Amino acid sequence: MRKFHIVLVMLACIQNASAKNPLPSWNDGQAKQSIITFVDRVTAEDSESFVPVDERIAVFDNDGTLWCEFPLPNQAAFALDEIKRMLPENPEWKDEPAVAGLISGDVASLKADHNAGLIKLLALTHAGITPDTFDSRVENWLQTAKHPRFDCSYRKVIYQPMLELLEYLRTNQFETWIVSGGGQDFMRVFAEETYGIPPQQIIGSYGKLKYELIDGKPMLTKTLDSLFVDDKEGKPVAIAQFIGRRPIACFGNSDGDQAMMEYTTIDNPRPSFGLIVHHTDADREYAYDSNPSSSGKLTTALEAAPQRGWTVVDMKQDWKTVFPDQADEGLSSLIGQWLVEDIAVSDSGNQGVVDRAQTTVQFSADGTASGNTCVNRYSGNFNVDGNKLTFGQLATTRMAGPAALMDQEQRFLKAIETVATYEFGEPGIVHFLDKEANRVMKLSKK
Tell which positions 257-296 bind a copy of itself, by CB under 8 A.
259, 262-263, 266-267
Q: Are 66 and 177 in contact (CB under 8 A)?
A: no
**74-86 and 131-144 helices, crossing angle to 10°:** 100
Q: Are 141 and 82 in contact (CB under 8 A)?
A: yes
How many of the chain's residues bind a copy of itself (CB under 8 A)? 89
Identify which of residues 130 and 144 has a Cβ nearer to a copy of itself in the complex: 130
The one among 200, 306, 427, 437 contacting a copy of itself by CB under 8 A = 200
Q: Are 319 and 25 in contact (CB under 8 A)?
A: yes
Q: Are 65 and 277 in contact (CB under 8 A)?
A: yes
368 binds a copy of itself (CB under 8 A): yes
163 binds a copy of itself (CB under 8 A): no
Identify which of residues 2 and 104 has a Cβ nearer to a copy of itself in the complex: 2
Least distance between a copy of itself and beta carbon 114 (Å): 20
220 binds a copy of itself (CB under 8 A): yes
199 binds a copy of itself (CB under 8 A): yes
Compute how many other C-beta atoms are within 10 angstroms of the C-beta atom of residue 194.
19
Task: Give the C-alpha separation, 255 to 203, whole Å.
Answer: 18
Write out the H or E segment, with its range, that includes residue 260. Answer: helix 258-265
Task: Give the C-alpha separation, 329 to 135, whole Å.
Answer: 28
Strand stretches in 247-294, DSSP E: 249-252, 273-280, 287-288
The one among 29, 198, 309, 352 contacting a copy of itself by CB under 8 A = 198
400 binds a copy of itself (CB under 8 A): no
Write out the binding residues for a copy of itself, residues 222-241 only, by CB under 8 A. 226, 233-234, 236-237, 240-241
The one among 111, 156, 245, 316 contacting a copy of itself by CB under 8 A = 245
Least distance between a copy of itself and beta carbon 274 (Å): 12
One character per residue 290-329, x = contact with a copy of itself (rule: CB under 8 A): --------------------------------------x-
One character per residue 7-46, x = contact with a copy of itself (rule: CB under 8 A): xxxxxxxxx-xxxxxx-x--------------------xx
Least distance between a copy of itself and beta carbon 99 (Å): 29
Interface stretch with a copy of itself, choices 3-11, 95-103, 105-113, 289-297 (CB under 8 A): 3-11
Task: Provide the 8-state DSSP code for 177.
Answer: E
The one among 115, 156, 367, 429 contacting a copy of itself by CB under 8 A = 367
Strand stretches in 116-216, DSSP E: 175-183, 202-205, 209-214
Candidates 178, 115, 158, 133; CA nearest to 187 is 178
Identify which of residues 119 and 209 has a Cβ nearer to a copy of itself in the complex: 209
Least distance between a copy of itself and beta carbon 258 (Å): 10
Task: Give the C-alpha separation, 369 to 379, whole Å.
Answer: 6
Identify which of residues 300 and 351 has a Cβ nearer to a copy of itself in the complex: 300
Compute how many other C-beta atoms are within 10 angstroms of the C-beta atom of residue 4.
5
Write out the H or E segment, with its range, that includes residue 362. Answer: strand 360-363
Q: Are 279 and 296 in contact (CB under 8 A)?
A: yes
399 binds a copy of itself (CB under 8 A): yes
Identify which of residues 254 and 265 has a Cβ nearer to a copy of itself in the complex: 265
Task: Give the C-alpha separation, 408 to 189, whole Å.
Answer: 34
The one among 202, 302, 335, 440 contacting a copy of itself by CB under 8 A = 202
Identify which of residues 72 and 165 has a Cβ nearer to a copy of itself in the complex: 165
DSSP string, 366-394: TSEEEEE-SSSEEEEEEEEETTEEEE-PP
Task: Give the C-alpha separation, 265 to 252, whole Å.
Answer: 13
